[in-house]
Amino acid sequence: MMRTLFRSFLSILMATAMLAASGCATGPDVWVDYSPSTPFGQYKTFSFAHPLDTDSDGYQSILSQRLMAATQRELEARGMRRINGPAQLTVNFKLMWVERTQVTPYFTPMIGYGFGRGYYGYRSGFYGAWPLYPTQGVVSTHMEGTLRIDITDEARRQRVWVGLISDFATDIGSDLAPSGVEAAVAAAFAKYPLPVRTPAK
């Protein structure tokens, strides 16, 4: 019976944790900054910096290629055109790393049972204790990456838009999956001053 009780409590605890995790799931944490007076609607062409800050050892990284493809889709959807020569806007990417510390509670099973009436009938009959109890924590560290997207007006030599995507990556040297890169870039450009153009019917 105690084994059945333990399994029941454990199942409830796991289900509750899964529901809480799914309820708290959100998209990337994005922050943008730009000058409202910038004439974003007048920009028609863009290009990418060469080399990009996400390149390494003189070569274009896979991450750079994925960021360029995702960014190109976002800007072209807003009526702009990529060119290889000098353009009105230049796009660059930078990945910044910060060490984070995380404490994970360590749970140990605790089961109790008893018989008898006790004092004044207190805890009479069979009872069981809560099966899991946090007794200590496990400390771990990881590197958390923040992606910065810079867009510069070449004629004015001024940065006109900046997008920051926190918790972009958690492993130095690994290239993120294409879907993760696309989702992060899309979340940033969702806050771009120009909306996506609706195709003409």
DSSP assignment, residue 131? Answer: S
CB of 64 closer than 8 Å to CB of 55: yes
Alpha-carbon span 28 to 70, nearest angstrom: 15
pLDDT in tens, 53-99: 999 888 999 999 999 999 999 999 999 999 998 999 999 999 987 77
- Residue 145: how many CA atoms within 13 Å on its side-chain side? 18
Per the domain annotation, does 140 fall within a domain?
yes
The reply to whether 173 falls in a domain is: yes
In a domain, 99, yes or no: yes
Least confident of 46-50, 130-134, 145-149: 130-134
Give the domain range for residue 64. Answer: 27-189
Beta-strand relationship, 132-153 and 158-169 = antiparallel
Q: What pTM does this model have? A: 0.67
The residue whose two tokens read 């995380």 is 102
For 80-115, letters b (16+ CB in 10 Å) and e give: bebeeeebbbbbbbebeeeeeeeeeeeeeeeeeeee
- pLDDT bin (cut points 50, 70, 90) of residue 176 is confident
Asked, for residue 84, whether it belongs to a domain, the answer is yes
User: Is the residue at 201 inside a domain?
Assistant: no
Residue 108 lies in a domain: yes
Q: Which residue has the higher pLDDT, 26 or 99?
A: 99
Question: What average pLDDT does the chain have?
Answer: 78
Q: CATH no. for residue 35?
A: 3.30.160
Within-domain flag for 159: yes
119, pLDDT greater than 50 = no
Total number of domains constituting the chain: 1
Instruction: Please answer whether residues 45 and 89 qualify as being in contact, where contact means their C-beta atoms are separated by less than 8 angstroms.
Output: yes
Q: Is residue 34 part of a domain?
A: yes
